Amino acid sequence: MRPNPAEIVRTLVAGRLPGLVHLAHRPSPHHARHVTDPDGRVLLLVPVASHLAAALQPAAGTSDIAVVLDVLDLPPAAGAPGLGRAWVSGWAAELHGDEARQAAIDFAAVEPTGDLLDLGTRFRLFRFEVIEVRWERAGVVHRVDPGEYAEAEPDPVHPVEARLLADLAERGGSQVTEYLCRQLGLTDQSNDGPPRVVRIDRYGLVVALGRPGARRRIRLTFPHPLSDPADLPRLLPPLRLPANTHPPR
């Protein structure tokens, strides 16, 4: 098993990676602080005194504006393959009252920023339901069904993946090499160097074979998908979880 396109897009736009907002018929793009709520709707935390806040003001007679959130994956380590790029679009509207308060709770569950305390004064929250989803990888653009996107869940390993890979690289050493060689049926006596874990997700590991920079990779699948990174040491014995591994959600 491996992440499907809907899961990858949900992971990319969850709020851990920087995003750009493009607006229809308005100057753009704009850098934006964003997260997605449990239903996959996009929340934008926007400073009142900003070009983005001005651009998000709808024209007379309308209540929302067409926007696209653009998020590019940042590989967690040198030599790690990227997950690609996601575009999700919809009609953004400012939230007020109870809706804004609930959205602030959803935002804080992903990014507990103190700026949410200034909601309504220095900051505003906008939200849009995703009505179009695209995912690009290796130059190919795939359309994803919005319903499948809404039902998918962000990968719980993604927020801590970089720390896990650093731990494997710095502290795992020979134990990691022995484990990977045993799982792959390889010998660690190779002129190309030992196998290396270059990505971790809820379904398994991506292992690079050959010298650094080589493109030969193989996937090792876990017996079952992970719901919590804390389960990793049981499936990957050489791994010792760093402190504060649990993501906020």
- For residues 123 and 228, membership in a common domain is answered with no
Q: What is the pLDDT along the chain (249 residues), one digit of tens a residue?
A: 899 999 999 999 999 999 999 998 887 799 999 999 999 999 999 999 999 999 998 876 677 889 999 999 999 987 789 999 999 999 999 999 999 999 999 999 999 999 999 999 999 999 999 999 999 998 999 999 999 999 999 999 999 999 888 887 776 567 777 878 887 777 655 556 778 888 999 999 998 887 666 668 889 888 889 888 888 877 776 665 544 554 444
240 falls within a domain: no
- For residues 43 and 128, membership in a common domain is answered with yes
Rounded to whole angstroms, how far apart are CA atoms 155 and 6? 11
- For residues 141 and 19, membership in a common domain is answered with yes
CATH of the domain at 163: 3.20.180
* Count of domains observed in the chain: 2
Say whether pTM exceeds 0.85.
Answer: yes
Instruction: Classify 138 in phi/psi space as left (phi over 0), alpha (psi -120 to 50) or beta.
Output: left
247 falls within a domain: no
- For residues 88 and 116, membership in a common domain is answered with yes
User: Which residue range(s) make up the domain with 203?
Assistant: 158-235
Instruction: For residue 191, give the DSSP letter.
Output: T
29 falls within a domain: yes
The kind and range of the H/E element at 201 are strand 196-201
- For residues 27 and 94, membership in a common domain is answered with yes
- For residues 115 and 19, membership in a common domain is answered with yes
- For residues 96 and 205, membership in a common domain is answered with no
Domain final residue, candidates 151, 176, 199: 151
206 falls within a domain: yes
84 falls within a domain: yes
Contact 123, 48 (CB under 8 A): yes
CATH of the domain at 113: 2.30.110.10
242 falls within a domain: no
H helices within the chain, ranges in order? 5-12, 51-55, 97-110, 146-151, 161-167, 174-184, 232-235
Rounded to whole angstroms, how far apart are CA atoms 43 and 48? 15
- For residues 140 and 181, membership in a common domain is answered with no
DSSP character string of 7-32: HHHHHHTSSSS-EEEEETTSS--EEE
245 falls within a domain: no
65 falls within a domain: yes
- For residues 146 and 163, membership in a common domain is answered with no
Closest C-alpha to 26, from 63, 60, 54 = 54
Contact 229, 216 (CB under 8 A): no
- For residues 179 and 77, membership in a common domain is answered with no
Dihedrals φ, ψ of 5, to 5°?
-55, -40
- For residues 51 and 162, membership in a common domain is answered with no
Question: Which residues make Cβ contacts (< 8 Å) with residue 28, sequence separation at least 6?
Answer: 20, 21, 22, 55
- For residues 85 and 184, membership in a common domain is answered with no
Closest C-alpha to 16, from 155, 202, 129, 150 = 155
